[in-house]
Amino acid sequence: MGSPREDAGAAPPARVLVECWSCKAVIEPSDRYCRHCGTGQGADVGWYYTPWGITVLTLLLLGPFALPFALKSPKLTPTGRRAAVVLIAAYTGYLAWGCWRLFHQLQLGGSAGAADLMLLLGRP
Ligand SMILES: [Zn+2]
């Protein structure tokens, strides 16, 4: 940037440095894990940050609490991140609706409540 042409030979070779996606510290491109926070980089990103990992966490374990993984994931594009937020919100709404229905049916009590519980669980 505006430096004289004769200085070009003396300039140190350009070092390519990358940022840790998690803590933003500067690391070497060859680092598989961040030297500062220990987070996996590139192919070594934890499974829970992959689209499938986030799906499994949402459906089987965390529900809406999987949202931070989706928001932080380096494996998702901004569009993918927005889609994940919408899908997790929709799934959370579905869970809330299911809980409300279950609560309502249990309040009715008796065998009708049990039959509806089985329907809710997808068994005829
Ligand atoms: Zn880091």
State pLDDT tens for residues 75-124: 999 999 999 999 999 999 999 999 999 998 888 765 555 666 677 777 65
CA of 48 to the centre of ligand 1 (A): 16
Answer whether residue 36 is part of any domain: yes
**Same domain for 90 and 36:** no
Q: How many angstroms separate the alpha carbon of residue 68 from the centre of ligand 1?
A: 17
Based on the domain organization, do 75 and 64 belong to the same domain?
A: yes
Q: Domain span at residue 23? A: 13-45
Domain assignment present for 98: yes
Q: How far is the CA of 20 from the centre of ligand 1 (A)?
A: 5
Average pLDDT estimate for 24-52: 93
Q: What is the 26 CA–ligand 1 centroid distance (Å)?
A: 8
For residues 56 and 9, which has the higher predicted lDDT (pLDDT)?
56
Tell me: do 76 and 114 sit in the same domain.
yes
Same domain assignment for residues 36 and 63 = no
Measured CA to CA, the distance from residue 13 to residue 26 in angstroms comes to 17
Q: Which of 115, 88, 90 is nearest to 101 (CA)?
A: 115
Q: How far is the CA of 34 from the centre of ligand 1 (A)?
A: 5
Same-domain pairing of 99 and 81: yes
At residue 57, what is the residue type? Answer: L
pLDDT digits (tens, 9 = 90+) for 13-35: 677 889 999 999 999 999 999 99
Distances (CA, A) of 107 to 56, 101, 110, 118: 32, 10, 9, 15
Q: Do 75 and 39 share a structural domain?
A: no
Give the span between the Cα atoms of 39 and 61, in whole angstroms: 22
Are both 62 and 39 inside the same structural domain? no
Q: Is 84 in the same domain as 40?
A: no
Q: Which of 97, 91, 99 is nearest to 70 (CA)?
A: 91
Q: How close is the Cα of 53 to the center of ligand 1, in Å?
A: 20
Residue 30 counted as domain residue: yes
